[in-house]
Structure 1
Amino acid sequence: MKRFEKNRKTILFLCYLPMILFIGLLWNAASRQIHSQLFSTLADLARQNRYVVSYSINQKMEELERVAQGLAQREDFPQGVAIDDLATVANVLGFREIGVTGLDGMARMSTDTSYDITGREYFQMSVQGFNWVSKTLCDMRDGKKVNVCSVPVRSDSGAVIGTLLGTIETDEFFASMQVPSFHEQGYAYVVNQDGDVVLTTRSDGVEVTNFCTLLYQNPGNVDQLNQLRDCLAGKTESVNLLVNEDERHYINVSWLGYDDLWLVTGVPEHALDSGIMTQFKVIQVLSVVFAVAGLAGLFFLNLIMDRNDRHLRKLAYVDARTGIHNHFYLRETMGEFTTLGPGKGKRVAVLLFNIQQFKNINNLYGSVAGDQVLKHVAQHLSAVFGEGRTLARDTADSFVVLSPYEDWNQLLEQAETLCADLPLLPFNNNEIGVKLRCGIYRLPDGVQPDEEALFRARMACFEAPRESGVGVYCAQVQQKMERKKEQQNTIRQAIANREFKAWLQPKFCAQTRSLLGAEALARWCRPDGSVLPPGAFIADCEEMGIIGEVDEMVLEDVCRQIRDWREQGIQCPPVSVNLSRVYLSSLDIVDKIDRVLNRYKLERQAIQLEITESALVKDEDGLRDVVERMRSLGFTIVLDDFGKGYSSLSSIHDLRFDIIKIDKSFVDRIGSEQGDQMIRFIIELARALQLELVAEGVEDQSQYEFLRGLGCHAIQGYYFSKPLSCQDFADQYLQ
């Protein structure tokens, strides 16, 4: 007995040893399974991010290559490339600045600065014929972090004669590199073959310039560092690492598919504490409790593993803003839907819903309101498309539904009801009107949804009729979209080539017929000599979001022409320039206009600024500050298309316009009793408000005589003159 007491601890330890070993085996198996599931999920996210990042880089490079091809045709490249042209291309393509170099390495930038970049890696690589993305650099102008995209400029023979480079703020790349998973605590790097960090989304305060150096700082990362170097050397396409920093980080490294760039996707271990690590501890406790019953413990372990898998899927596949599935989940589950043949079961349709004017909602009400709109739409889509269907947020303002159906008309009616009757969203004592547009693609028999199906649903959405808001994909939609895409590509090239010019339609004094001024109207002067009116391109420019560039091009063309005339001793009366609603929404529009005038040394009275009444109706409060600023600087402000936008008289008085223009639709009704009375009222109103009045669209003598008799100040229209090129205008009216 004493001997037993003496050796009790040893005996108890020997008794517990099998249990400890069993628990250790269970724990090790659970750990390996957890890590395997996590790395699998991380690899899926890396694959999706790799596609997004490489697409973003390739898009920028393709845009630069197109411009480089145009520049290479110039005999005086690079000295003859105008700074103004570079600035325009930078604005159109979304670069911070654009520059050109010869083989001497002297870069002429769109900001009218010059740098010697012969020692820069991106210049050296592009001179050798490679497209190149630099690592993160510090802009010498303002210290901001930027990345440089550089492409070679080749002659017709294929020889490199210089380079074209564009700088982009590093923050702009972040949007395409976000890892919307693990409670938004994931991060990503783009590194080169040496481990130098080109881009990063890491926001936890850790400054990393070289990823290999980060691993080298911790002795526990020796094996991981060797695996990383093998991967960056091209020995493997990807590698999973468990890296030690202040805490453990789960890392996936994979080739980006572009030059020698690699994508590093990671998540810190603490991001898993709320879910996986808690369940880890449960596994440990339950393993101790059920150590005696091994089979029961294994069965319970299997249940816990299933829970872990569901939790990981939730972290990776749920949209943080709306609570519904995200685009990763959508692409993961598309293969589960297949359309069977007639009579064999339900068919499948892909529905893509787009929130109209979502960007404007964000700009007008703020990002908080934008998030509320997303939740509002997600809730109503969930209520209509529930069990048996997949609903996911695909992009910033688009939602996708994969829906089996038996009754096509019922599905179409559900989509039309959502587009027509979505309730108003209360927000801060306001009500936000949310309109949806929907595109539907019906899958053929035996076909699974894929990226092509999503693309066709998106095309149908773009072509949805205004009345129902729902478009159904067909061959005509495909053909129309292809023509539209070709037209828009042509317009982008036309902006880069500065093919949009100002044509002038004169305005005359109604009483004396003397020239008072002119209105600048945009025309597309194509290389083949044809001249296209605004109806051929304005709608596309507005849809593409580049109508502001056309406005700026017309304004600059007018100012350049007035300066040239003055240098020749020719005086020109004031020319009015139209400002689109999109251009007016720019925060620095007044400064932009003033800079153009200063560049050509013109006083502000040389041009007049025309604002359409529709812009006033849509955003009177936003325009008030803009108009006041314009007036304070001495600009003459014209209200265009008066009577067409249903603006209030108080708005016209409060905004203090100098001139109002009677819309052509009223002039066309001259001769009818109601039309004559309306014109009399508008002229009396202008007289009472002490505003000058211009009648546009006057086409015959009866209209002119009627307006002159009522005391209208100025006349514009085909009765006197159609719009003319600047040269014809000068020949006819300024000599």
Structure 2
Amino acid sequence: MNFEKILQKPFLIAVFVFNIILFGVIVFLLGYVQNLLDNDSRNNLEEIVSQNKNVITSKLLLDLNRLDIISSKISDGLKNKNITQEAELNKFLEDYSKNSIDDSLFLANKDGIAYVEKRIPIDISGRRYFKLAIDGISNISERTISRINGEYIFVGSVPLYYDNKIIGTIQKIYTEKQMNELFAASLFSSKGYMYVINSEGYIILHTKHINCALKSDNYFRDVYEYGNAEAVRKMKEDIKANKSGFMENVVNGEKTFSAYTPIEQVHDWYLVTSVPTDVIAENGNVVMKIFYMVMVALVLIFLVSICYFAWNKRRQKRTLEKIAFVDNVTGGNTYNKFLVDVQELLNKGTDKQFYVLNFDVDNFKYINNFYGFACGDKILRQIYNSVNSWMQPGETAARISGDQFVCLLLDADEKRIESLFSSIRGITEENLMLHFSAGVYIIKDYSENLNLMVDKASVAAQTIKGVLNQHVVYYSKQFDDQTARNEELKRDLKLAIKNDEFVAFYQPKVDINSGKLVGAEALIRWQTKDNRLIPPGDFIPLSEKTGLVTDLDMIVFEKVLAFLRRSLDEGIECVPISVNFSRLHFANESFLPTLLQTMERYQVPAHLIELELTESAIFDNFSIIYDFTEKVREYGVAVAMDDFGSGYSSLNMLKDLAIDTLKIDRAFLEEAADNEKRNIIFVSVVEMARKLNISLVVEGVETGENVSLMRECGCNIAQGYYFARPMEESKFAELFREGKLC
């Protein structure tokens, strides 16, 4: 196993490093190529737009200049005639229009009265081109409808001066065909196209191109409908600031680059030039090919990585299942596996009669002490193999612990069981005489707790320990007395809960360097009405079997919340208090909502509460507790793993589980065959917790030597008799108020 891990680590590192390098290369390559493409696109398009603007501007200004020349000639004519009266001026303008040989040319006085084709007087005072010209701004109008023939026209308009005052305007009519000739230039092999728009986005002119098939008469609205609202916003801002700009867009499913710029010489006109991206930059196709090749390579790499990690995770799962379900001594089923298998059999609702056989080897400790543990383990394997070969189809067996075994049988005849023990006695090479004590429980209620069934069989077996020539006893009514006593205790427990006889004791957590109180663990005690204190060992095991432990946990939880609330109201600087919770809570979906509602009721800040879960409880309910810890930590409640290091799954769970605090099992402090190795392991755990940003608390600190060992290993928080025993709330309140233990 160790060799396999050693081989595995370099490969994982290599995959990780390779993926990072590949990702970096891809990002760099895509960034470089994209910059190349964008630069080509911008440079080419900006150059084209500039050229188009110059051409169009030149043509437009040429006509406006012609109008300015005519305006100057008219002004000179007025000066020669020395006309000063407004009526005479208007008469002169009217006569000039009537005598003009160019039907597209007409004048208007300052009131907007003009003579056009057939010299019919019309009022153009409301026309925008007239208003701009009368204000001194030469301009060309947007597309408008002629009042004479109803055709679309454009009107160029310049001011008419006399004696340095504007006395009217001179206009020239351009047909739509004439204006469109301005856009006759071919752009990018006729794949490019242009618009002229005003500041509000309304389209004045556009080239003849399939992508100019307008959805509306407003360019902003068209771009918005193509799904590019951000481009519209930016373009409006640029136009408002009279700036040029650049944008990407998708037109008819084709990605395009568009550049826009104001036509300064023509009031309120903006030129927009658009070109498909695959035309404007020769590198476009290359970019796409490189991109797809990179993406395909990336997907393949990640698929391989995902497959590997999925395989590795399944392998880890099989390893965990092997640890949980394969006994490390016998190589057969563990007790957990036995419970799972038996529960499946009972859930099928079969009409078969089942029996639970629980047996162990009398004085097996003597064999371990005299012959050694290797011999003892060998005998345990031989026992399991004999039982496994002896059983019928549909039966199963497991080693519970030590030398204790359990079987689910379809036939529990005493002679059959005696034959099993006889066959086992003949397998030992050491010629040892093995004696067995066995109890049989007849399953009548399939819904009964399996552990309770096994316990009943065990209780029966204990009654014949040391009795000669009797190896099997059946659980019967005589054992019900013990059950009755348990029921009586159960009733007493329920009554004690009702009478509020359970109290919280507190054992401080101390900083060994400063003596400062940094927290506490709440522990339950049963204080009867006559003030007798019943220790947990007398009632907790039964409460766990009966499920009452969940009620006891919530009692302690509420008492802790009430204590913290009182302390906060008194202005005391509180430290977190941890509360233990049984694994039975996690079968209840309302557990977490109940916790949060209770905390809300007492208005206790979440950071003052820590939930303690044992390592074994976490392992047995890992998926449920994983979800639970993820949710509860969202609310700011800390989670602690109790008895860390007492089981086989601690490290494996840490990589997946969100844990705030590890409570080190007292076994780390005990003298070992090799104290140096013990210290190395202790220091490694402390360092690991620090790197994972997990707090560390050492339990069971009872001696000065324990404290010294903690200091040597860099661990500062202790809980144990050396500093304080669990104490009642009134005494702890004084300590809580002071905030320091020693």
Q: TM-score range by the shorter chain?
A: 0.3 to 0.5
Which structure has the larger Rg?
2
Query: What's the TM-score once normalised by structure 2's chain length?
Result: 0.40
Query: What's the TM-score once normalised by structure 1's chain length?
Result: 0.40
